[in-house]
Structure 1
């Protein structure tokens, strides 16, 4: 019986299928372009290879082709006769995931890795900011994600993929020197790992290393395929650093060429969250944002997130609707009760409505209770700076500079030397 790169037995006799399968898994783990083609070659070499169809399903998910993903996992389900228990379980986990059962899928993943800790295509589902733990809406989700990756370290601690996702989890709990070391180790093993590059960028952001981060990412991005999963989001990181340094031309270039929904090849979730966050942070910093950009994002949100339920997307869609003046779309989100952190979505949506009206006292009143636990909404610390900086802006607009200074010093000291809010002087 053949084995994959991680030593897991595979129910195929085709050497060619295994080689293509390993390539596809590597593309998934590194967020590089080519997974769909690799898994297609694996299936061509052995049409009865169930896990190649599971890989094709995962690749289709990252291509935002949910119909294709469901069809691929259904084909895998029809091929489970005579394959190993691990492979049957993997098919079942992806079936749960694609059936819209995230709680059950997470429970199955956590049980699965106890027996098969090197089954990375399964383990990957619960890692990263947008994994089942990251988007759970639970209090303490960052610690839970770190606990999950830490459990894998004794089994995969020399692997470039796990070093990067464990480093991300370490970064999000504030252990920055350790996180940077893990990223450097990961990238030394595989410099093409976009997850490693991405999480290194997050760590440098948290360290306040704007110059170093901007230089690093600019160099690394030269070799990254524009069609790859993280190109748009890494462009967002570049744009944020340009904005912090007052380089408006570069910020707009990154937005137009890599972040805007018409330019980005990212998933819809990234397109709405990155686009709305960058435009609003540009406005906070004092730049003029063309109204048509807000209208474009609002229309995109209405197309792809018409029904509230994904809380992290919802707060960004609400921002786009508020700034575009679409009160009806904003109200649908503010009044919704679905989603893993729906109790926080409503006040954030109403905050954006107040901001758009220039009612800073109402915006502050709505936003303040959210600040105690906004990690439940999802996203990284860098992404939730959208809320932190809005809170500072509200305080500034209400003449509460001393309180704004205390907020920065106690909540986000990374900005102590330079807060990207118009009128704020450290």
Structure 2
């Protein structure tokens, strides 16, 4: 039998199928465009190649094509006879994932990777910000993710993919020098790895290196296909640095060209959260955001996240609805009981409602308890700075400027000298 580039046996005897499969895996690991095409070529070369169909299912998930993903996983099940134990377990993990049995899928991933740590398509399900650990809603999820990627790193060593996701986990717990070293090593092996360029941007952000980060991403993204998974989110990072450096023209050019719902190729959760965070961070920085931008985003949120349950998306939907003046949609989220962190979604949504009414004191009362452990909501530190900066802004608006500065020093030192908030300096 043939093997993949990690030395794992594949139940196909056709080199063309194997080669296309390996190419598809690398597209997913690097977040580059072309995974669906590659996996389609793999199963065209060998229609009975079960893991090729699994890979196609995963690629179609990233394409936002859930019916296509279900069709592909059904094809994989139909060709499951004769698989190795590792391949059967691999298929079972994705079967659970596509059934929406998230908790069981996470357990299955961890069991599978304990036995097959080099099976990267399964392993990556629990890595990254929006993986099953990152979106678990559990306290201490950042440390849990670091422990998970550490085990993978021990098994995979000098591999460009594991170095990028392990570096991300290091970044999120504040081990920035180690994170940057991982990113640079990963990019030296594969400069096309968008995960590494993304997490390098995060590390530069956490280091307060805005000018360097802005220049780096402007150069790197020029060769990155706009249809790729992370293009919109990397553009968000660029726009945040443009905002920080008071380049309003570039901010809106990037938003309109790569982030807005009508132009982004990102997954809906990225489109919603990136757009909402950028618009509101622009407002508290003192920029005027046209009302139609909020109305468009509110409509997008209601289309793709009509019911509560994805807590990180829910707080951004609530923001869009509040700023668009859609009280009916907002009310659903202020009372939600659904989602992995619904107890935090409710007060955040209530805070957005008070902010829309310019009731700064009420908003501060709603948001304050959330600040103790908002990591449970999901997202990276950079993404949750939406809440950190909102909290600082509410302190300022409520007449507590000294406390705002003390809070910045204690909670987010990168903002202690200068924060993108009107009147903070």
| Common fold: TM-score over 0.5 | yes
Counterpart in the other structure of 2:270 = 270
Aligned pairs (5 A) from 1:117-128? 117-128=117-128
Counterpart in the other structure of 2:411 = 411
Counterpart in the other structure of 1:130 = 130
Counterpart in the other structure of 2:396 = 396
Counterpart in the other structure of 1:8 = 8
Structure 1, gaps ≥5 residues long: none
* Cα distance between partner residues in 1 of 2:264 and 2:203: 23
Aligned residues: 425
- State the 1:74 CA deviation: 1.2
* Cα distance between partner residues in 2 of 1:170 and 1:74: 37
Aligned pairs (5 A) from 1:66-81? 66-81=66-81
Counterpart in the other structure of 2:359 = 359
* Cα distance between partner residues in 2 of 1:123 and 1:354: 42
Counterpart in the other structure of 1:179 = 179
- State the 1:417 CA deviation: 2.3
Partner of 1:197, secondary structure, is helix
* Cα distance between partner residues in 2 of 1:91 and 1:266: 26
The CA deviation string for residues 246-285 of structure 1, in whole angstroms up to 9 with x for no partner, is: 0010111110001100011000000000000000000010
* Cα distance between partner residues in 2 of 1:277 and 1:326: 18
The CA deviation string for residues 111-165 of structure 1, in whole angstroms up to 9 with x for no partner, is: 0011101000000000000000000000000000000000111211210000000
Partner of 2:220, secondary structure, is helix
Counterpart in the other structure of 2:221 = 221
- State the 1:98 CA deviation: 0.6
Counterpart in the other structure of 1:339 = 339
Counterpart in the other structure of 2:109 = 109
* Cα distance between partner residues in 1 of 2:82 and 2:263: 45
* Cα distance between partner residues in 1 of 2:76 and 2:91: 7
* Cα distance between partner residues in 1 of 2:279 and 2:154: 42
The CA deviation string for residues 293-320 of structure 1, in whole angstroms up to 9 with x for no partner, is: 0000000000000010000000000000
* Cα distance between partner residues in 2 of 1:180 and 1:56: 32
- Per the normalisation by structure 1, the TM-score is 0.99
Structure 2, gaps ≥5 residues long: none
- State the 1:333 CA deviation: 1.0
* Cα distance between partner residues in 1 of 2:245 and 2:278: 14
Counterpart in the other structure of 1:87 = 87
* Cα distance between partner residues in 1 of 2:86 and 2:295: 48
* Cα distance between partner residues in 2 of 1:153 and 1:324: 45
Counterpart in the other structure of 1:281 = 281
The CA deviation string for residues 43-83 of structure 1, in whole angstroms up to 9 with x for no partner, is: 01000000000000010000001111111111101111011
The CA deviation string for residues 341-360 of structure 1, in whole angstroms up to 9 with x for no partner, is: 00000000000000000000
* Cα distance between partner residues in 2 of 1:257 and 1:22: 32
- State the 1:200 CA deviation: 0.2
- Per the normalisation by structure 2, the TM-score is 1.00
* Cα distance between partner residues in 1 of 2:52 and 2:38: 9
The CA deviation string for residues 230-249 of structure 1, in whole angstroms up to 9 with x for no partner, is: 00000000000000000010
Aligned pairs (5 A) from 1:19-418? 19-418=19-418
